[in-house]
Amino acid sequence: MRWDGQKLGDDGTALPGLALAGLVRSVRTPEFAGVTFHEVTCKSALNKVPDASAMPFRWTVNPTRGCLHACTYCFARPTHEYLDLDAGRDFETQIVVKTNVVDVLRAELARPSWRGEHVALGTNTDPYQRVEGRYRFMPGIIEALVHAGTPLSILTKGTLLRRDLALLAEASTHVPVGIGISLAIADETLQQAVEPGTPTPRARLELIRAVREAGLPCGVMVAPVLPWLTDGRAHLDDLLAKLADAGATGVTVLPLHLRGAVKPLFLAWLREHAPALAHRYEALYGRGAYVPHEYSRWLDQRVRPLLVRHGFEGRDRRAFRRQGEGSYPGGSIVADAALPAHEPTIAAAQPVLF
């Protein structure tokens, strides 16, 4: 790995020379034990989503790479491999920080060619992970987008979002602002095992409440739903009741997908934490990264009446919102972004369902 020869200096800074574009220094700090921040200067802040993508937005901003939330299933993990870091522990502990992201973004938004299209934050790593407390990028990013008349949406699990709610509420008087909270596991023990760096379900429910009290709509990504772990009727019913009670204005429900390096990582986690399920998952995801069509259809049939019971009305197969509530610019935040163009079908690995 290209980082191997790197040493932090006596003052906590690293010697320059890492094979990472724009690297300024690598630092550690006692508040983040075991974590190294690689501070870089970036040349661009706005990332264009490929035209072929199914995502309901064309532009993203990611001030960091890697995520302290450390979700076992995180689909962004393989992006760390582009940096010659691994998708496992490195993704959770080697955090690349774009220190000039706000200045670069301002310059890009000021170009005559910028058309003020919707910009999504939180599509690759979480913009309100604890790193944001140290670097404080988001207020500058929000202000820059608003100044440029650019609608924005934020998807996060981080309760640090509370810090910026007043700013976001003010921003929403100038441009459309969408807020999404990701919460798919109601059971705290399971959540701590699967997403060890994230705020508890209770804290995230309180965050949803706070977003609503700030006068903003708040969609919830009930994703990923984990087969045999969180797809039971009682779990989903309990979670959706809590989301409705907290004031969620919409929900999007998606099953787990396991692309690239995430698949062996998640299967290894299962062997340790739920060994009885490892073979079932191997069968369910045996031919690819996505659940078979049969499972998607089964999950849809299970979830739909529960959503209706809790006041969420279906717009398409997987995105629901409450009657009379606002939604997001560009549709539900990441909604179908995770969907493959074609869901594979298998007969042999038909899941044993509840």
Q: Which is nearer to ligand SF4, 77 or 302 (CB)?
A: 77
Please choose, out of 33-41, 53-61, 71-79, 165-173, the segment that lies near ligand SF4 by the rule CB under 6 A: 71-79
d(CA 315, CA 304): 11
Q: 58, 65, 69, 318: which one contacts ligand SF4 (CB under 6 A)? A: 69
Q: Is 70 in the site for ligand SF4 (CB under 6 A)?
A: yes
Q: For residues 265 and 87, is the Cβ–Cβ distance under 8 A?
A: yes
Identify which range of 44-52, 64-72, 264-272, 346-354 contacts ligand SF4 by CB under 6 A.
Answer: 64-72
CB of 69 to ligand SF4, least distance (A): 4
- Binding-site residue total for ligand SF4 (CB under 6 A)? 9
Among 39, 90, 126, 164, the residue binding ligand SF4 under the rule CB under 6 A is 126
Q: How far apart are CB 185 and ligand SF4 at their closest, in Å?
A: 12
User: Which lies closer to ligand SF4 via its Cβ, residue 147 or residue 163?
Assistant: 163
Helix or strand holding residue 244 (H, E): helix 233-246
> Do the beta carbons of residue 288 and residue 212 sit within 8 Å?
no
Instruction: Determine which residue in the list 74, 95, 138, 214 makes contact with ligand SF4, applying CB under 6 A.
Output: 74
Q: Which stretch binds ligand SF4 (CB under 6 A): 67-75, 80-88, 210-218, 305-313?
A: 67-75
Does residue number 76 form part of the binding site for ligand SF4 (CB under 6 A)? yes
DSSP symbols for 163-226? GGHHHHHHHTTTS-EEEEEE-----HHHHHHHSTTSPPHHHHHHHHHHHHHTT---EEEEEEEP
Question: Does 71 engage in binding with ligand SF4 (CB under 6 A)?
Answer: yes
Query: Which position among 6, 125, 153, 332 is part of the footprint of ligand SF4 (CB under 6 A)?
Result: 125
* Radius of gyration for the alpha carbons in the chain, expressed in angstroms and rounded: 20
Nearest to ligand SF4 of 38, 157 (CB atom): 157
Q: How far is CA 238 from CA 201, 331, 343, in A?
A: 12, 26, 28
What are the distances in angstroms from CA 286 to CA 6, 71, 164, 184, 346? 39, 22, 43, 23, 9
DSSP single-letter state for residue 113: T
Strands (E), the chain: 23-27, 36-40, 46-48, 59-61, 64-65, 94-98, 119-121, 152-156, 177-182, 219-225, 250-255, 312-314, 319-322
Minimum CB distance to ligand SF4 smaller for 71 or for 346: 71
Least separation in angstroms between CB 350 and ligand SF4 = 28
Contact between 67 and ligand SF4 by CB under 6 A: the answer reads yes
User: In this chain, which of 157, 204, 235, 310 binds ligand SF4, going by CB under 6 A?
Assistant: 157
- Residue 298's SS3 state is helix
Minimal distance, residue 112 CB to ligand SF4, in Å: 33
- Shortest Å distance, C-beta 67 to ligand SF4: 3
- Residue 312 CB coordination number (10 Å): 27
Residues that bind ligand SF4 (CB under 6 A): 67, 69-71, 74, 76, 125-126, 157
